[in-house]
Amino acid sequence: MESVDFEAALGALPEGYSEGIYEGRRYGVSLRRSDDGRRNSLFARELAGTDIVSFNLYRLGSGNASLKPCEMSAEKVRDFVLGFRLAASNP
How does pLDDT run across 47-60, given as a tens digit for each residue? 999 999 999 999 99
Q: What is the rounded CA–CA span in Å between residue 65 and residue 91?
A: 30
Structural domain boundaries in the chain: 3-86
What letter does residue 82 receive in the DSSP assignment?
H
> Is the distance from CB of 7 to CB of 37 less than 8 angstroms?
no
In degrees and rounded to multiples of 5, residue 88 shows phi and psi of: -60, -40
Please return the burial class of 35, using the count of CB atoms within 10 Å of its CB with bins 0-12, 13-18 and 19+. Answer: exposed
Instruction: Report residue 89's pLDDT band, with 50, 70 and 90 as the boundaries.
Output: confident
